[in-house]
Structure 1
Amino acid sequence: MIQLENAVERYGKIILTELKEVGINTWIAGGAIRDYFMGVKIKTDYDLFFPNQVEYEKCKTYFNAKGAEVRWESDNGMKVKYNGKTFDLVKKYFETPQATIDNFDFTVSMFAVDYEKVYFGETTFIDLAKRQLMLNKIPYPASTMSRAFRYYGKGFKMCLGEMKKLCEAIQAMPPEEKQDESVNTDNPPSGDDTVNYFVGID
């Protein structure tokens, strides 16, 4: 499929080829790739994921050595501006790009690109074409609910069955977890509760 090949080439030019040439193992996943396949202007940051802490530190060191502007840094990662683009280095590690997207909440955001191919969920392209919000996992229900409202602003809809699943997941949350998930999405993620890792996977 030519569009998949184009995506690999596109994200290779943006940053992946450059990082590969210095021996950094990373991939881009989430909203930036979704927007590419939607054919809309990419407004979100490029989220870089890594298999382990070593690769994350190598990438961080590389950006610092290149004079990238550090927008913020926390226990969850860092945001840098480099060559006119903004990258989020995520400190939530997964063995592979596929393992990364398998942990995303909505199927329409289940996209990743590495040096060789595009990874996506079984129904991702179908759901994206229909602009329908289908749940993949609900590890952080309140965060997923917040993101659902943002998706509605992008023209997506959720059927009653999926709404029911999400509402039931929120109702089943212990009170202390509801408090932990009170994340202000207008600010960079901070702290060490893993819910924050996925706030920016828009």
Structure 2
Amino acid sequence: MDTTTDTVPPGLRDRTRRAVRQEISTAAMDLFLREGFEATTIDQIVEAAGISRRSFFRYFATKEDVVLGDLLERGRRVAAELARRPVEEPPWEAVRAAFLALRQGEDASSRESELTLGRMLHDSPTLRARHLEKQLAWRELLVPELAARLRAAGVSDASAQHRAAAIVATAVVCLDTASETWLALDGAAPLEDLWDEALAAVRG
């Protein structure tokens, strides 16, 4: 299955890697849904995907990364969206718009996949721990960008860093809170509305 070699043109190599990652992810998610995340082993995943253990670890560092592997990339997308927001836009509004840009273009099937992922996170301590690590990486991506915006608005260096860290941390915690409520409601209420409600509660 893993046909990626140094002789393959870069564009084709990237597409091949994405295709193989997707095949592994599909096989793994099917097992996770049937057997449970904690009960599923890497040996089961590689057998279902028709690859070797060595090939698995070429694409994923851990079993948890099969589920959360794109979370860091989503953080990069949020940071890129934040950088594109108008300079004069207030910090909270800029952060909100950057976060919500991730959900543009999502359809019913992607929302259902998000519910499935959320339930896995809720039920698996190891996934929750790995998810926290990824969220800390989000903060490292977003805080410098937001601090730069605040400095451009005339805020001192020390204060800009402090305020940016507080805003980003609050936004992430409110997103977690909204996600928990969203799961409890089985997705009946829009996650965006629940996040806005949580942010409003914190901001008073």
**As a proportion of its length, which structure holds more helix?**
2
Aligning the two structures, in what range does the TM-score lie when normalised by the shorter sequence?
under 0.3
Could you tell me the TM-score, scaled by structure 2's length?
A: 0.24
Higher strand proportion? 1
Q: Which has the larger radius of gyration?
A: 2
State TM-score, norm by structure 1.
Answer: 0.24
